[in-house]
Structure 1
């Protein structure tokens, strides 16, 4: 799985559009996301987001895929980022981290987000999406917000009951992602991920004006 972020010589553009085989995007979504990335080329820009939080009861970092206003990860199932991060991922990260990714099978996008956050000290950026690019696992961790180690800022923990994972496969995948986040925090010695509540929309998005004045009217269709 870590081969996904290998710096292949065939990649000549600065921008990399990372897509899973089952991802469906409209041309308007791709166009707008790319325009945002051009303004923030050091960040991951994409659609589906997830987050982390400090669980004071378990005294560990928690992972959640619950849809909230808080985000700290953009899934590379549909995201733009700079090709430079392929070189960092392959040549800078210890081999043990790449082996961790290959062993858990649901960790490579978390590691890429952690790597970019560690380098930039900035969160990823979520952009407008027409369709719901939602991961199959709806489960999330829960717990009260507390004080993380080392004075790090803790994002708001989800307080509502977690949605039930869709079957054994969903439970296994969620467990792997939780384990991945914990091990990455141990490897780095702290939690590099940075939380944000920012989402970027096109100008006049959802405004009550003529669609002829809007550059991406198709993004507003259900």
Structure 2
């Protein structure tokens, strides 16, 4: 009988303790509610609401402060394991924590491109990007007037097997006197990693820089900070081009092709499921999706029954 009383007292005390923690946590969460725009607001009935910033240019929060807030205690095991890799070092970056708006307040939105160094190779595609920036009204040749910085080092193709791959990029970036751990910098990238893994490591720590990247995963994309861009070829027109054939209220649009894709079909590894499924949509008329199996030195070991036909259509 005495044992039953002791167990009942212990369970009752535990229940009260859990209830106390629950009510305390609920009160804390209520006091830090957010509105539809993500801003902190005071709980209903509070006399002093959380401060709002009327200026659209948010105040700059020190990087160390933003990185330390809950970063070590939150996140998936994979993110904790990869915290020291280049793709995750700036995982918590947002505009209010990694972009200094005071540079834009002072001189307006001006973009500075680093001068190209003698001997540095640069692809035609990246040269087109730089030329488009330098030909715009936002360009400035004075770094002290700039709000945004773009490297002259070609970062588009970070596949080590590519002839466009720039070596020693890590040391070259770190030696830039304006780099400042990437703050207010924008990095362009189309390809990263090497077959068959194709990791999203660009080969150097981007720090606090924004990333304009093609095919970036949802795990690494930083909302309202990074920019998702499509893949484009070196033949893509830099500006303008011929007018399209789309007419007002014309459904479907009057054009010969509705969808076109041409690229390598990865037989194994990342991307293989998607590329191997394209033939279901390809009709050879207005939807043309061409893939080749000739990718990598040992592609014939993974060759399937569709490879010969796909390779032939790709070559046409």
TM-score of the alignment, normalized to the shorter chain, above 0.5: no
| TM-score bin (small chain) | under 0.3
Higher helix proportion (structure 1 or 2): 1
Larger Rg: 2
- Higher RCO, 1 or 2 (CA under 8 Å, sep at least 6)? 1
With structure 2 as the length reference, what TM-score do the two structures score? 0.18
TM-score in terms of structure 1 length: 0.23
